[in-house]
Copies of this chain bind each other. A is one copy, B any other.
Amino acid sequence: MSTLTEIASLLRRSRRVLALSHVAPDGDAIGSLLGFGWVLAAAWRAAGAAADRVFVPACADPVPAQLRWLPGSHEIVSEAPPGPWDVVVGLDASDAPRLGRVFQPAGYGSAPVVILDHHITNLQFGALNYVDPSAVATAQIVVDLADALAVPIGPEAATCLLTGLVTDTLGFRTANVTPAVLAVAMRLMEAGASLSEVTGRTLNYRPFSVLRLWGLALADVRLEHGVAWAVITHEMRQRVAAPANGDGGLVSQLINAPEAAIAAVFVEKPDGQVEIGFRSRPGYDVSQVALSLGGGGHPQAAGCTIPGPLEDAQRRVLPLLFRLAE
């Protein structure tokens, strides 16, 4: 493990920085990526050296609609330029595949890879790794990095970083939210971020078509052996013209059932693969199930993508969940 002081010192003297976040980006992926860029720019400005510096944020998958309002989001590229780079920073990703095709370490020459992450499953695949599983979001680590860089957090950085904090804690609802986390949120609000705008545009954003999709999925929701689970087929999605990805937060609703120890939603993708989101109550670790299926995540929130068809995926995964929930 490296320290944020080492990483800050490396970043301060770098001229060309590429930053990457993970595939299927969520609020913390984009929020920490953009927040990092704003913090780095402030550090460069403080050093009187902003003019000749280059920062490129990249993410293999498109920025989701509800995050496109974040300042700087239109700068995110989906193909990383060739370089050369002085430093490549990977945010919020526990391993190299999670960064997707924008991560090409063979082409980085002597440029060190710096990893900033809060996933306990992080493989520390960089030259410098700062992994803090006590942070509720990678965005919280970027706040600490700003302190290590001794730069104030401006309103743009604050908005991006509060988005990471809010989305990864589902609006301060996860068990890891301490008073110190609320203090970070207060600080970001005082730096110019609007909490109600962040929650309104992310957690409280659910297109009408997604509400209809929930209706279709909940019509056949199951509760078996302590597992609440539902299925979203490609046909359902087409019927209500819902956005192309994910379950729109349905799995987080299923775990609210007090009867459920574990929740899962099986989402059939257009290519026939099946994306599965898992949630669990404390005491039940779904990250292990996700890991065993080639995915990852946190003990209480994880996911994976496995081959279809749907029925095969259910037959393969449900017994694992039933056993875990016992």
Number of copies: 2
Closest to A176 in B: B196
User: Using a Cβ–Cβ cut-off of 8 Å, how many residues does chain A contribute to the interface with B?
Assistant: 45
Query: In residues 172-213 of chain A, which contact B (Cβ within 8 Å)?
Result: 172-179, 182-183, 185-186, 189-190, 195-196, 199-200, 203-208, 211-212
Also in contact, A171 and B171, with CB within 8 A (given A183-B186, A204-B256, A218-B214): yes
Q: Complex: how many Å from CA A179 to CA B215?
A: 36
* Residue on B nearest A204 in the bound complex, by CB: B256
Bound Cα distance A204, B215 (Å): 19
Interface residues in A121-150 (C-beta closer than 8 Å to B): none
Which stretch, A83-91, A97-105, A257-265, touches the partner chain B?
A257-265
Q: Quick check: is A221 within 8 A (CB to CB) of the other chain?
A: yes
Q: Mark A243-267, 1 if CB is under 8 A from B, else 0.
A: 0000000000111111110000000
Residues of chain B within 8 A (CB-CB) of A254 are 211
Q: CA separation between A259 and B208, bound complex, in Å?
A: 7
Residues on B with beta carbons closer than 8 Å to the beta carbon of A23: none
The reply on A216 being an interface residue by CB < 8 A is yes
Kindly state the separation between the CA atoms of A153 and B172 in the bound complex, as whole angstroms. Answer: 22
Closest chain B CB from A307 CB (angstroms): 28
| Docked-complex contact B172 and A257, CB < 8 angstroms | no
Chain B nearest CB, measured from A194 CB (Å): 9
A179 to chain B, nearest CB (A): 4
Q: Which residues of B contact A174 (CB under 8 A)?
A: 196
Distance, CA A171 to CA B158, complexed state (A): 20
10 additional A-B residue pairs with CB within 8 Å, beyond A182-B183, A183-B186, A215-B221 = A172-B195, A174-B196, A177-B195, A179-B190, A186-B186, A204-B256, A208-B223, A211-B228, A211-B253, A211-B257
Q: Can you name 15 A-B pairs with beta carbons within 8 Å?
A: A172-B172, A173-B200, A173-B203, A173-B204, A176-B196, A177-B196, A178-B189, A183-B186, A206-B257, A207-B259, A208-B221, A208-B259, A212-B218, A212-B221, A215-B217
> Which A residues are within 8 Å of any B CB, using their own CB?
171-179, 182-183, 185-186, 189-190, 195-196, 199-200, 203-208, 211-212, 214-221, 223, 228, 253-260
Q: Which 6 A-B pairs have the closest CB atoms?
A: A215-B218, A206-B256, A208-B257, A175-B196, A179-B186, A173-B199
